[in-house]
């Protein structure tokens, strides 16, 4: 029996859409007002389902039928988040783990919905709060099946892609040879961070699978960029939470080459001495674009760099023509490193001062003595390592920023930062700054809102990867707020 269709009518989801397309073209002819449609099975009818079932099964489905392949089955209400691309399957999203024997830490597993239909694969960890770190979604497997359930092949492919992406960002270059090469989830290798410092590589490990495949990772790095050395820096406490039994932490700290104490690197034309054994990976490359943006604003200005570490912002201010730069940090080695970097760049001794002091004490004393600067940079360490301590961190950020604002000249600039992921992801930082301004008797104008430099790639499906906030503010005295603050005091 033939059915008739109006022009423009569509059979959504029908496997024979090509025939419908040809029919619609015919309907455009004036003489074809009503044309019998081809005899086709109704969508989702038994005949249509039979046509779909005749299609060859996907690679995921084939492997999923193998009882020896372990599967992590997700709870019904939790599936969509991970189908949308979130790479970290937390323990509360898991309904069951199917497989005999059960998968061990670092084994590859399929990730399935409640009906046990697989849609991704990843590495398993029964001890971690992240039960599975997803490595490939179904669409990625279709595009590149060569990496399917093969961690060694996947590591090689992802690191190679990371190298090519940095080349696109002009890294390395004659002006910059310190940068992030692999940024965890942002480069599809959750738990692995790698920074290039000159001709050397520093690897930070925070996942059990990274330790399991350490040899492969190092071999791929040597093949891809041939570093002079690789310094391996495991996050011991996090790895303990990942289930690694670490009796002697020094066992994890051995690298494949001679230990390197100090390296000279260059960032936007400024030279630095960096240490792979120093804080984090030895250099804070995440602030590169923010330091460079600040440089031309400092000409003829007096600049204060709080929590200056090796002098990144301070040196950019000096190179930008600041009349005088003051750097403050509570770490003695950091202050010595900052001084050495100033000498390394030929900055006149009378144009900079680096002080080892607690910044709260320094700011309180400076404000009491009536000292102020044209530009103040506040880049404190991580005050909110987790959401649990965020309320306490909010109070600390508010107090610190209120003090820093009081140290800024009228109509001066404050560049203030938070490297706490919990703060950045909460979206509270600007509100905290507004409260700090009220306490300091200041009115704010936001000039710039930024994050980490682009080599610190982010997976848009995993906003938890964002951690750095950098805000540039113009200061104005707020007479009403100042009166209220003094009255409340």
Q: How far apart are the first and last CA of the chain?
A: 88
Q: Are 51 and 17 in contact (CB under 8 A)?
A: no
CA quadruple 203, 266, 468, 356: dihedral positive or negative? positive
E-state strands within 172-306: 178-183, 192-197, 200-205, 230-234, 263-267, 270-274, 302-306
Active site residue 419: yes
69 vs 98: CA distance, rounded Å: 8
Of 337, 401, 398, 396, the closest CA to residue 363 belongs to: 401
User: Cβ of 103: how many Cβ atoms within 10 Å?
Assistant: 20
Q: Are 334 and 310 in contact (CB under 8 A)?
A: yes
376 vs 415: CA distance, rounded Å: 6
Which entry of 298, 308, 417, 419 is annotated as an active-site residue? 419
Of 279, 334, 277, the closest CA to residue 305 belongs to: 334
Running DSSP on this structure, what letter comes out for residue 71?
Answer: E
Whether residue 45 is preceded by a cis peptide bond, meaning omega within 30 degrees of 0, is no
Q: Which helix (H) or strand (E) holds 44?
A: none
Cα 251 to Cα 71, 155, 260: the distances in Å are 33, 23, 17
Maximum distance among all Cα pairs of the chain, rounded to whole angstroms: 96
CA angle 290, 293, 294 (to 5 degrees): 90
Q: How many helices (H) and strands (E) does the chain have?
A: 17, 21
274 DSSP β-pair partners: 263
Cα 299 to Cα 351, 407, 431, 435: the distances in Å are 12, 19, 30, 30
Q: Are 303 and 319 in contact (CB under 8 A)?
A: no
201 DSSP β-pair partners: 196, 230
203 vs 255: CA distance, rounded Å: 10
Q: Which residues are catalytic?
A: 419
């Amino acid at each position: 029996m033939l059915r008739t269709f109006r022009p423009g009518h569509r059979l959504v989801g029908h496997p024979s859409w090509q025939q419908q397309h040809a029919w619609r073209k015919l309907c455009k002819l004036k003489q074809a007002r009503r044309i019998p449609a081809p005899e086709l099975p109704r969508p989702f009818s038994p005949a249509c389902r039979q046509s779909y079932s005749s299609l060859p099964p996907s690679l995921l489905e084939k492997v999923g039928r193998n009882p020896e392949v372990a599967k992590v089955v997700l709870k019904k209400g939790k599936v969509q988040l991970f189908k949308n691309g979130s790479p970290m399957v937390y323990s509360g999203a898991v309904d069951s783990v199917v497989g005999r024997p059960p998968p061990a830490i670092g084994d590859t597993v399929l990730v399935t919905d409640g009906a046990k239909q697989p849609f991704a694969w990843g590495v398993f960890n029964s001890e971690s709060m992240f039960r599975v770190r997803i490595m490939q979604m179904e669409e990625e497997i279709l595009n590149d099946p060569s990496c399917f359930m093969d961690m060694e092949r996947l590591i090689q492919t992802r690191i190679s892609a990371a190298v090519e992406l940095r080349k696109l960002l002009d890294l390395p270059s004659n002006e910059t040879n310190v940068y992030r090469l692999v940024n965890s989830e942002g480069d599809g290798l959750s738990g692995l961070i790698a920074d290039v410092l000159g001709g050397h590589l520093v690897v930070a490990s925070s996942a059990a699978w990274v330790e399991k495949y350490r040899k492969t990772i190092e071999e791929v790095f040597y093949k891809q960029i041939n570093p002079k050395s690789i310094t391996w820096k495991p996050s011991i406490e996090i790895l303990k939470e990942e289930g690694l039994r670490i009796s002697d932490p020094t066992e994890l700290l051995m690298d494949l080459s001679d230990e390197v104490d100090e390296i000279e690197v260059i960032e936007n034309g400024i030279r630095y001495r960096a240490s792979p054994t120093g804080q984090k990976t030895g250099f804070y490359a995440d602030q590169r674009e923010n330091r460079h943006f600040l440089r031309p604003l400092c000409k003829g200005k007096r600049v204060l760099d709080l929590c200056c570490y090796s002098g990144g912002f301070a040196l950019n201010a000096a190179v930008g023509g600041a009349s005088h730069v003051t750097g403050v940090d509570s770490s003695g080695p950091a202050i010595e490193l900052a001084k050495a970097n100033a000498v390394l760049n030929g900055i006149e001794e009378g144009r900079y001062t680096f002080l080892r002091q607690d910044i709260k004490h320094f700011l309180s004393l400076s404000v009491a003595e009536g000292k102020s600067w044209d530009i103040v940079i506040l880049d404190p360490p991580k005050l909110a390592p987790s959401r649990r301590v965020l309320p306490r961190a909010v109070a600390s950020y508010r107090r610190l920023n209120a003090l820093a604002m009081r140290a800024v000249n009228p109509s001066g600039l404050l560049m203030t930062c938070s490297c706490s992921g919990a703060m950045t992801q909460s979206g509270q930082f600007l509100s905290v700054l507004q409260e700090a301004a009220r306490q300091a008797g200041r009115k704010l104008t936001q000039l710039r809102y930024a994050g980490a430099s682009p080599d610190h790639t982010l997976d848009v499906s995993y906003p938890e990867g964002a951690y750095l906030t950098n805000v540039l503010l113009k200061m104005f005295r707020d007479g009403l707020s100042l009166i209220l603050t003094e009255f409340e005091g």
